[in-house]
Amino acid sequence: MEKNPLSFQLKLNPDDFLPATDEEKEGLVVMRDSVSFWKDGFRRLRKNKVAMVCLFIIIIVMIFAFIVPAFYPYSYEQQIQGANNLAPMQYSAKEMEQIAAGEKVFPHFFGTDKMGRDYAIRVMMGSRISLLVGIIAAAIILVIGSIFGSIAAFAGGWVDLIMMRIVDIIYTIPDVLLIVLLSFALKAPLKVLAQAPGFGWISVVGENLISIFIVFALLYWVGMARMVRSQILMLKESEYVTAARALGASSARIIKKHLLTNCIGTLIVTTTLQIPSSIFTESFLSFLGLGVAVPMPSLGSLASDAINGLNTYPYLLFIPAAVISLIILSFNLLGDGLRDAFDPKLKN
């Protein structure tokens, strides 16, 4: 006996044709909630344990560099009588007498230097100088490099050709030689300017450090400019750029609102990786005596001062060297984590 092909209709129920309920609709939804670019990037960053540990280390270093010195009982230029070349956690004879008399004496965690200055506060202040140099230099490089590279790529043609040849010329200029020349050229004008009201900070940081910032502004942005140019060249042919042009948006608005905004992740990663490079440059130049003015310390100048007493007081060199290595390594690994989190090509 053949089966009736329409027999299934005999089992139909009018309730089967009612609209689906909200619960039934939600049961069919398989898509996850949409997230923004930043939320997705930070979610991916939090999964990177190495990057999060490095971020924690950077925060701790910044606390010791910028907050702890405000409550520390010693200052970086204070010389303690009879406390020359003390080992870590060691007290001078006078301080021992004060302790015996019941007075409270704050310990020298990292000992003291040859002039009797507490070494811990000098390492903290040196870390502050190095971090400030790295952050400010990275900001300068970001602003100049992104503007220069975006204009060259968006304009194209002979404008791009001329601007990129300027970049090639700047690449050939030796940075250390330029810093030395600027230090000698700016020494007299800066001394005169330091006497003016509101410019006393010049004599504190010294003309060498100012020369370093000038060199960063003159030379070190070329890598950022090339990176931005390559990004803009890929983005400027997109449909939304064509639509913005059709709506009459100016070139400056297109660059600012559309092009640079869409490569902000790459800019953040490149800027983060530029910070350790700037810190290393400053530490290297300070080690050669081209850094901050005495008695203001930096990690490089602390290491340089400790070279002569390496055999007798090795900790005076190892401590700032370890801090430099820790800061540079943390920023590098954090930059790698940011690149993995915000690079769309690496998403899975």
pLDDT digits (tens, 9 = 90+) for 289-340: 777 777 788 888 888 888 888 888 888 999 999 999 999 999 999 988 888 8
Helix, coil or strand: residue 299: helix
Q: Which region among 6-20, 135-149, 164-178 has the lowest average model confidence (pLDDT)?
A: 6-20
What single DSSP character describes residue 7? G
Give mean pLDDT, residues 192-213.
Answer: 78
Structure confidence at residue 13 (pLDDT): 67
Q: What is the pLDDT of residues 72-107, one digit of tens each?
A: 999 888 888 888 888 888 888 888 888 888 888 888
Structure confidence at residue 63 (pLDDT): 95
Question: Is the pLDDT at 18 greater than 70, yes or no?
Answer: no
Structure confidence at residue 30 (pLDDT): 54
Q: How far is CA 256 from the centre of its chain?
A: 22
Question: Residue 297: left if φ>0, alpha if ψ -120 to 50, beta else—which one?
Answer: beta
Helix, coil or strand: residue 97: helix
- Which stretch, 32-41, 53-62, 229-238, has highest mean pLDDT? 53-62
Q: Which region among 16-20, 36-40, 49-53, 228-232 has the lowest average model confidence (pLDDT)?
A: 16-20
The DSSP string of 279-293 is HHHHHHHHHTT-SSP
- Rounded to two decimals, the pTM is 0.80
Alpha helices in 156-221 (DSSP H): 157-171, 175-194, 201-205, 207-218
Question: Residue 331: left if φ>0, alpha if ψ -120 to 50, beta else—which one?
Answer: alpha
